[in-house]
Amino acid sequence: MAVQMKGKHILSIHDLTGEEVRQILDTAKIMKMKKLTGAPFQPLQGKTLGMIFQKSSTRTRISFEVAMWQLGGYALFLNPADLQLKRGETIADTARVLSRYLDGLMIRTHAHEEVTELAAHSTVPVINGLTDLFHPCQALADLLTIEEKKGSPAGLNLVYLGDGNNMAHSLMYGGAKVGMNVTICSPPGYLPDKDIIETARVEAAATGALINIEHEPAGAVKKADIIYTDVWTSMGREGEGAGRLETFAPYQVNSALLEKAPKEALVMHCLPAHRGEEITDAVIDGPQSIVFDQAENRLHLQKAILALVI
């Protein structure tokens, strides 16, 4: 390995060096090749990953569970309702105890502070499976998919349409690390966190990437290589759903919008999709969609992370 990552926490792409991002992507490609050829590769025999889920999950749970099994290890699903966390045990004490039993921890939760506190008191690597602030594993899998479809991401233009949420944050950080221009196109009042925008711009300057903020979808996609969208109402904000539908309606990724983009532009969505809201059936099931390729790559990317840090 070019860079030693054993024991490293994966909390945000911001915390990774460009070399570490490169190593994760290259390792994921090796993992995918081994899976396709049937070559056995089980470096995590006898290792156990604990998975704490404060939020429901399809792709994160299944991909991590399958990843550990394919690498020769075991994934243990930890429901918060079954842990002493529900009865008031601190995150710090939980981290200290679980570190004595497990070789790694993955957590999917609401507050990013819970992940950072878990990592601060854990002696085994902690992986952020999703928080309200970041979704690093998804964005890294997206970079893997973009490389497969477009080659080097350096100089490409990714346009994200919708809520300035955890995906917007992670895509900005990811683009900054690999030299990919990222435009966040959101309604006023729904922009990404200002501090994260500025931090991403500082990181982007080192790789020649640009981080842009726009509000008008038709203009934003004119030079897009990748058009990316996500649900308009994130988990935990379902009460805002009705108002958001009206606000975000102009940001829908549909056939009319694709006509304003280059013909070679590809469409991505981190899933789950609310079809007919942020994206139409014609687009997500159409020839420019690589949505299900990026979903598959969650498995290979997470295998890479697990093999590198555990």
Q: Which residues belong to the active site?
A: 108, 135, 138, 230, 270, 298
Q: Which two tokens stand for residue 19?
A: 């070399």
Helix 194-207 with 166-178: angle, nearest 10 deg: 20
Q: Answer whether the bond into residue 272 is a cis peptide, omega within 30°.
A: yes
